[in-house]
Amino acid sequence: MHLKDRADIIKKRGVVRVFCCLLLILFTIPGAAARVYIDIDSPGFQKFPLAITDFRQVGGDKDGLNLSRWFPDATARYLDLTDYFQIKDRRAFLEPSGSAVGDPFKVEYTDWTTIGIDYLVKGVFTPRGGALTSEIRIYDTIKAEEVFRRTYTGTVNGKPEMARKMAGDILAVLTGTRPLFESQIAFSRKTPQGAEIFSVNFDGSAATKRTAEYALVFSPQWSPDGRYLSYTSYRSGTPAVYIKDLKQKVTRRVTPYPGMNLAGPWSPDGRKMLLTLSRDGNEEIYSLEIATGALKRLTRHFAIDVSPCWSPDGTSIAFVSNRSGSPQIYVMDADGNGARRISYEGGYNTSPAWSPRGDRIAYEGRTGRGFQIFTINSQGEDPRAVTSADDGVHEKPAWSPDGRYLAAISRKGGRHRIVVIGMSDAKMRTVYESQWKCNGLSWSH
């Protein structure tokens, strides 16, 4: 292809390429280029064309598993969950995919720009016994340069984990966003003996039972580092808050108080936990220093104050109070001062969740056909509906760590679902479904 032809291709694709953000920023992933290639926050964002070629086996067992297509297909499935990329069908490739001879990382850039590919991923793998090694390289086809490479080691049985890491690196290198593929959503689900805490991965895999208390267990809350899970349990016959160390497999009780004890979120620094207690005769909000057990009362009102959550910087707390006559969303300083109402539309609003970006607070509001999810800014302005009654009832919003998605509980047709909703396109995806009632969501960091 002549240089003039290639220049014309680049010019024609300029409308799309304007969304590439070549900002110089520090990167947290070892070996990654210190810049972001795709601006996914652009108002006019469109999915970017990406190709992943068949991987080639280099060395290892002669009768090794044929993973040439498994690796690109598995990696593409994870990337599809983000809705950031348009994965090109291999049937459109001009360059032979997975060629058995020559340099597996040689790139004929014009073969990719001709079919509209902005970014290209190539890979190799080596099976040896039960061990498995793989390497990927990412290329910017317009600039005709390699932008990232990494080698992954694992086992044949652990190859899904390798694919998740590959997808996470591709996402982080090209968009600068933190991968969510390792994050988990915890929830309470009804059981014959009461309710237990379960979790499910962002991609809908690995639904796992986290507690076995054979009692009513609810209100799960992840610690910021993901090692601990706190919740309220009736295991002793009365409600109390417990913390489970998921690494050491031990659980300890942290509230010895009479009356209602409801677990709330951990502070952003992991040192405190918000609680709703009725120890003084009325439901009030408290903060608990986890290391010392020191308790501080934050609200002092004759009304009911419940469902607290931290702002991402830890300086403010959103909560629910009926001090105006019906449950509404309020915001106060972290020390309990300066409480102000921010929700005014609708007669029943509850379950606030503060976005990690700090700009929006999600909550559930009662409509004529059940509860739906809404968001509002912290000043009480710009309320927006996120879900619709056409898709059922939606409750208990929980933000993803990057603030780009909301998880919610959806009920329709006698089924209970955990759904993930994209904030950019309102696209909804089911990650868990059950005939048993689900409640209380928390998304790990």
Q: Which amino acid is at 237?
A: G
pLDDT, position 140:
96
DSSP characters for 48-65? Answer: EEEEEPPPEE-SS-TT--
Last residue of a domain, one of 175, 206, 241: 175
- Kindly compute the dihedral angle of the four CA atoms of residues 260, 261, 267, 271, in this order, to the nearest 10 degrees: 140
- Joined tokens for residue 62: 């002669």
138 and 265 in a single domain? The answer is no
Residues 137 and 190 in one domain: no
Looking at the structure, tell me whether residues 8 and 129 fall in a common domain. yes
User: What is residue 30's predicted lDDT score, i.e. its pLDDT?
Assistant: 39
192 and 302 both lie in a single domain = yes
Q: How far apart are CA 362 and CA 354, in angstroms?
A: 6
- CA dihedral for 21, 27, 32, 33, sign (positive or negative): positive
Collapsed DSSP state (helix, strand, coil) of residue 263: strand
What is the DSSP code string of 63-88? T----TTHHHHHHHHHHHTTT-EEEP
Residue 313's pLDDT is 97
Is there a single domain that holds both residue 337 and residue 192?
yes
Question: Residue 155's domain spans which residues?
Answer: 3-175
Residue 413 backbone zone (phi > 0: left; psi -120 to 50: alpha; other: beta): left
157 shares its domain with 211: no
Long-range pairs of 35-44 with CB within 8 A, sequence gap ≥ 24: 36/174, 36/175, 36/176, 37/119, 37/140, 37/147, 37/173, 37/174, 37/175, 38/84, 38/174, 38/175, 40/84, 40/175, 40/177, 40/424, 44/19
Give the per-residue pLDDT at 426: 87
Q: Domain holding 367: CATH number?
A: 2.120.10.30
Q: 275: which 2 tokens?
A: 């609680």
Close Cβ partners of 239 (under 8 Å, ≥ 6 residues apart): 232, 233, 260, 261, 262
pLDDT tens, position by position, for the chain (445 residues)?
444 444 454 444 443 343 333 332 333 333 344 466 767 766 667 888 999 999 999 998 887 778 999 999 999 999 999 888 999 999 999 987 655 568 999 999 999 999 999 999 999 999 999 999 999 999 999 999 999 999 999 999 999 999 999 999 999 999 988 889 999 999 999 999 999 999 999 999 999 999 999 999 999 999 999 999 999 999 999 999 999 999 999 999 999 999 999 999 999 999 999 999 999 889 999 999 999 999 999 999 999 999 999 999 999 999 999 999 999 999 999 999 999 999 999 999 999 999 999 999 999 999 988 999 999 999 999 999 999 999 999 999 999 999 999 999 999 999 999 999 999 888 999 999 999 999 999 999 8
- Give residue 264's identity as a one-letter amino acid code: G
Domain boundary pick from 130, 157, 175: 175
Angle between helices 159-175 and 70-80 (to 10 degrees): 50
Residue that has been written with the tokens 């992943």 in this structure: 52
423, β-bridge pairs: none
Query: Which of residues 156, 175, 194 is at a domain's end?
Result: 175
Of the candidates 249, 88, 111, 85, the residue with the CA atom closest to the CA atom of residue 170: 85
pLDDT score, position 98: 52
With beta carbons less than 8 A apart as the criterion, state whether 72 and 54 touch: yes
pTM of the model: 0.87
Give the chain's domain count: 2
341 and 239, same structural domain? yes
Mark whether 149 and 189 lie in a shared domain.
no
List the one residue out of 288, 266, 271, 270 whose CA is nearest residue 279: 288
* Residue 289 and residue 159 share a domain: no
Q: Do both 206 and 336 map to the same domain?
A: yes
163 and 190 within one domain: no
Give dist(CA 397, CA 288) in Å, integer. Answer: 24
Burial of 443 from C-beta contacts in 10 A (0-12 / 13-18 / 19+): buried
d(CA 415, CA 402): 28
Q: What is the pLDDT of residue 323?
A: 96
